[in-house]
């Protein structure tokens, strides 16, 4: 089976405190961190054993917090990237952690979904981190939450990044009619595919790969239909993919989350992102200007 597995352990803390994030104020206990480490290690062991079952896996870590500040996520990324039956391993990260360890990654399979949070880090520092991935030829996208206070930094980071690095903007949907026509025009200049994220998708009864080829795994092995429809459909370690996979039409009225609606059938995302849909790297880039690694944005 060719399957995509999202993994989310017990981690729920971050080194940032973004005001729009519900998990930014959490501080995990030593016991919770130990539990999360064991969960990640158990999951990596499970992935390792899937070679004998003939499964080809794409893995995405999206913890409720920042994973790469913890050694076990870095070790998991490295090990998974070198497994022959793992087609891809990616992680959602604020890119704050030291990146020396990325030299051990297999750049043919590893990728990063990097989120830039103005006010939490300096642009120059974030660009230095991007440059390290860029220099190692590790694919990555850069994204921002499209709150109005971030419009200036979004424009600045877009100008500083190489044109072939895709910058996406997550629409701020907590407030109705948040954007004016001018705002929408600006955000579309920053991210040509912003309109795809700005809308919600009618999904009730629609066919979706969630639960069939895409699996949302919790730290203890429970598999949810998806992160919006929290119905538990099995346990990864007890049932295996074969015992869980079946067609499951969506039970939600609408899907408003990127890691959900990209798996709905009949949507345009494969033509936009191709094989890079997991790490959110669009096929159509803005141009061909690249970084000169001898002199790059943010260099002191």
Tokens for 109, please give them.
């399979």
Query: Are the CB atoms for 216 and 6 separated by under 8 Å?
Result: yes
- H or E segment to which residue 188 belongs: helix 181-190
At 288 the pLDDT is: 47
Q: What is the pTM of this model?
A: 0.92
- Neighbouring residues of 161: CB distance < 8 A, sequence distance ≥ 6: 127, 130, 142, 167, 297
Domain assignment present for residue 98? The answer is: yes
> Which CATH number does the domain housing residue 266 bear?
3.20.20
Long-range contacts of 49-53 (CB under 8 A, 24+ apart): 50/85, 50/241, 51/83, 51/84, 51/85, 53/240, 53/241, 53/242
- The count of structural domains within the chain is 1
At 284 the pLDDT is: 61
| Per-state percent for the chain, helix, strand, coil, to nearest 5 | 35, 20, 45
At 83 the pLDDT is: 98
Domain assignment present for residue 122? The answer is: yes
**Nearest-CA neighbor of 191 among 233, 152, 147, 155?**
155
pLDDT by position in tens, the chain (length 300): 999 999 999 998 766 666 666 655 677 789 999 999 999 999 999 999 999 989 999 999 999 889 999 999 999 999 999 999 999 999 999 999 999 999 999 999 999 999 999 988 899 999 999 999 999 999 999 999 999 999 999 999 999 999 999 999 999 998 889 999 999 999 999 999 999 999 999 999 999 999 999 999 999 999 999 988 889 999 999 999 999 999 999 999 999 999 999 999 988 898 999 999 999 999 865 444 444 544 444 443
Domain assignment present for residue 229? The answer is: yes
Domain assignment present for residue 292? The answer is: no
Domain assignment present for residue 186? The answer is: yes
At 16 the pLDDT is: 66
- Give me the domain span that covers residue 153: 2-276
At 123 the pLDDT is: 95
Domain assignment present for residue 296? The answer is: no
**Nearest-CA neighbor of 270 among 285, 279, 283?**
283
Query: Are the CB atoms for 261 and 255 separated by under 8 Å?
Result: yes
Q: Tell me which DSSP letter residue 87 carries.
A: E
Domain assignment present for residue 190? The answer is: yes
Domain assignment present for residue 293? The answer is: no
């Amino acid at each position: 089976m060719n399957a995509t597995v999202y993994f989310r352990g017990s981690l729920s803390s971050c080194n940032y405190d973004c005001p729009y994030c519900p998990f930014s104020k959490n501080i995990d206990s030593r016991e919770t961190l130990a539990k999360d480490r064991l969960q990640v290690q158990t999951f990596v062991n499970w992935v390792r054993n899937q070679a004998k079952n003939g499964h080809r896996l794409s893995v995405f870590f999206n913890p409720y917090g920042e994973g790469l500040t913890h050694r076990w996520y870095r070790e998991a990324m490295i090990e998974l990237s070198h497994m022959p039956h793992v087609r891809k391993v990616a992680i959602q990260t604020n890119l704050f952690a030291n990146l020396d360890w990325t030299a051990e990654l297999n750049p043919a399979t590893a990728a990063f979904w990097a989120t830039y949070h103005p006010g939490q880090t300096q642009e120059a520092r974030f660009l230095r981190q991007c440059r390290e991935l860029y220099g190692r030829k590790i694919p990555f996208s850069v994204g921002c939450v499209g709150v109005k206070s971030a419009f200036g930094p979004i424009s600045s980071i877009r100008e500083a990044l190489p044109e072939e690095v895709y910058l996406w903007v997550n629409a701020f949907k907590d407030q109705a009619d948040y954007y004016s026509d001018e705002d929408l025009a600006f955000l579309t200049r920053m991210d040509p595919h912003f309109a795809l994220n700005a809308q919600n998708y009618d999904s009730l009864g629609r066919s979706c790969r969630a639960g069939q080829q895409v699996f949302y795994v919790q730290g203890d092995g429970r598999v949810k239909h998806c992160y919006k429809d929290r119905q538990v459909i099995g346990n990864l370690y007890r049932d295996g993919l074969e015992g869980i996979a079946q067609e499951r039409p969506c039970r939600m009225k609408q899907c408003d989350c990127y890691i959900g609606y990209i798996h709905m059938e009949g949507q345009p995302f494969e033509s936009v992102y191709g094989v890079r849909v997991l790490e959110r790297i669009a096929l159509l880039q803005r141009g061909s200007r690249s970084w000169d690694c001898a002199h790059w944005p943010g260099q002191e």
